[in-house]
Structure 1
Amino acid sequence: MTSLSQITSRPQLVYLVFGAQTYHQEAVFSIASALAKAGATTDRPFDIQVFSDNPEPYRDLPVRVRPIDADMRREWSGPHHYHFRCKHVVARLVLEEAEKAILIDTDTFFLDGPMKLFERVQPDTLLCNAFQIRYADCKETVLYTALAKTLAERNLADDQMRLVNSGVIGLTRNNAPILDTSIALMDEFFPMTPGAITLEEFCLGVAAYRSLKIDQCADLIHHYWSRKPVFRAKVLAWIRKHRHDPLGAGAMHDTENVSPKLPRPATWQRLMYKTATLVVPQPQRQFVREVLYGCCEHPNEFDRACSPVWWEKAFSNAEHRLKKPIAPAQLRQWLDHWAVRRLLGRRRTAIYQHLVQMQTPR
């Protein structure tokens, strides 16, 4: 038990990062964006903690790394080994030591200063990333079919409850017990809801419903849980450019250039692509149009870094339409069409090589 004299009044920004390198890259950029938005000061009014199985990516960042290992994760994931449960355990641990804390997912970056985020963490309030649909709107899901009756009987939730996105979890210390409730609900409901990967944030919403005000912060944080490959490409380009000096002036400036905007061609370009591909045989026409989305010469270097993602998505969509894999020979035939050769120019070879390499088992 933490004594009152050891409880810090400084707000805590908390990350939980383990596993693949991608998650660490996301976290590093998210932290860099927070520091950039906080401004050029060595006297920040908040602290950053990173619970991680790998301290190396954070060695050049002004953060407190709290090492975790497989045994800790196993304990935190509970009786059903549900790894999203760890988020609530970590938030609970930090709130034993701090008056205010925000646990934030790695696939985020800041659109405004972190202190504006902390200002929304108020007494008797849960700060989440965003409101989602009402419970009544997901009657076809296992979270409804398996749990609605139980929740109603126990007066825990009804059809009017708003589901929340837990990319951000912000609470004051006095409201930390809500996490004990959400953890208990996860442990109880996990066996009843097979395949419900959003059980964690669902239980958070249930725990807060009728007991806390719920606020959101999508205007302050971009959470790229959808279209993740596009934004991961932007983040990776930033990492590659600034990995040796992630706090330098250039790195801080470039966090602004990694925007929440999806890098798509302008409307006139899309219309041009549609017209130009009318001479392409129908089976590959849509594929070529989508590939062209990745050939747009965006002025922003981080938007240009997304080109391979568009090519991969075009290829995946084509296989889905055909309901079968596309062999390299068929791909080459598609790209060798005279109109496609003219449209893609020198990029045609790079596109072919990238898509073939993508299919090669590693």
Structure 2
Amino acid sequence: MMQLVYLVFGPNAANHTQAYFSILTFLRQSAALSGITVVTDRPDFYARLAGQVRLLPVDAALLREWEGQHQFFWRVKIKALEAVAAACPGQALLYLDSDTFLGGRAELLTQALAANTALMHEPEGPLAALPSKTERLMWQQLQRQPWEGITLTGKHLMWNAGVVGVPAQRTAAAIGLALALCDAWCAAGVTRRLIEQLALSVALAETGPLAAAGASIGHYWSAKPEWNQPITAFLLDSFLHNRSVEAEVAALAGFNFGAQPVKQRVKNTRGRLESLAQKLFPNQQQVFWQ
């Protein structure tokens, strides 16, 4: 069994809606779960799930503290894992970004974690070979010197951190190493955007086996607008029918998970053209209620 972990904060209601929907998809296979913890500054958004989730409230002050002395924003993801590990000792943890869903068998995830195999969503490739400017710069900054006793080589992979599964036997070692790497790289001035992602990738790989969870979990990080629309429609239908949480879970049998992409590449040119079109051809003769 495993303890699900969600970290959802801020005023963007879409993030909370995605997390709510993700939780529903896992409740379809609740026998695989020891519990669900939502780390959030908006516990009121999850009142309907009071019987299904445990809330760990946070506020702006605690989130700033979790950013650490170098004030790195995404360090809070690792700290949230640490907080839930302390609250749920002896349990395997499965952290999930809000833009995820269970599309396969949860049993495969629990079996891997029980066998001391850590999980992340999918490998993106060796850091030394990744093409983006950020990743190339990180490799230049990190290679050829030890970090917490680890010298990065061409074999170290960057993994997508939308899913982070930590076996019960490795929570202290893996989370502690991820925090130490994150802090060391921040202190050294390493370019920051992907630091927590790489820290988790390295820490989980260095403390034991690491495998992909993509066969069971969908992560639509590059297609959020395409998913937000059907998710909102599903939850609006639930509201209008006054469904219980149990009825919402049952209604997922009619949700078409294959109707929208889980991965896509949107050309920057398209965004620039759409922005230009909005400026050149704005809506006209608008009338507002007074």
Place the TM-score, normalised by the shorter chain, in its bin. 0.7 to 0.9
Aligned residue number for residue 49 of structure 1? 37
Give TM-score, length-normalised by structure 1.
0.66
| Structure 1: tracts of 5 or more residues without a match | 1-9, 264-312, 333-351, 358-362
Q: What residue identity is the alignment partner of 2:100?
A: T
Contact 1:156 1:206 in 2 (8 A): no
- 1:326 paired residue number: 277
CA distance in 2, matches of 1:143, 1:120: 30
Higher relative contact order (CA 8 A, sep 6+): 2
- The residue number in structure 2 matching 1:83 is 73
The answer for the alignment partner of 2:21 in structure 1 is 29
**Aligned-partner SS, 1:326:** helix
Give the alignment of 1:198-213 within 5 angstroms: 198-213=194-209
The offset of 1:133, in angstroms, is 0.9
2:152 alignment partner, one of 154, 157, 160: 157
Whether 2:48 is the aligned partner of 1:60: answer yes
CA distance in 2, matches of 1:169, 1:77: 19
* Aligned residue type for 1:257: F
Residue 18 to residue 254, structure 1, CA distance change in 2 (3 Å): same
Q: CA RMSD, aligned part only?
A: 3.0
* Equivalent position SS for 1:133: strand
Q: 1:81 to 1:228 in 2, by over 3 A?
A: same
Correspondence for 2:102 among 98, 110, 130: 110
Distance 2:32 2:147 in 1: 45
Q: Which amino acid aligns with 1:207?
A: A
1:60 deviates by 1.5
Residue 186 of structure 1, CA deviation: 1.0
SS at match of 2:42: coil
1:253 aligned partner: 251
> What's the offset of the Cα at 1:219?
0.9
Task: Supply the AA of the counterpart residue of 2:138.
Answer: L
Q: Give the C-alpha shift of residue 173 in structure 1.
A: 2.9
Quick check: 1:172 aligned with 2:172?
no
SS of match in other structure, 1:225:
coil
Q: Measure how far apart 1:237 and its partner are.
A: 1.9
Report deviation, 1:234: 2.2
2:277 counterpart letter in structure 1:
I
User: Which protein shows a greater Rg?
Assistant: 1
How far the C-alpha of 1:63 sits from its partner, in A, is 0.8
Q: Give the fraction of aligned pairs with identical amino acids, expressed as a percent.
A: 24
The count of residues paired between Structure 1 and Structure 2 equals 270
Distance change in 2, residues 1:256/1:75 (3 Å): farther
Q: Which amino acid aligns with 2:165?
A: G
**Distance (whole Å) between structure 2 residues aligned to residue 252 and residue 143 of structure 1:** 45
Does the CA-based 8 Å contact 2:113-2:168 persist in structure 1?
no
Q: Which runs of 5+ in 2 are unaligned?
A: none
Q: Which residue of 1 aligns with 2:190?
A: 193
Q: 1:122 to 1:143 in 2, by over 3 A?
A: farther
SS in structure 2 opposite 1:59?
helix
Alignment counterpart, residue 217 of structure 2, candidates 195, 217, 221: 221
The answer (yes or no) to whether the contact 2:118–2:208 under 8 Å persists in 1 is yes
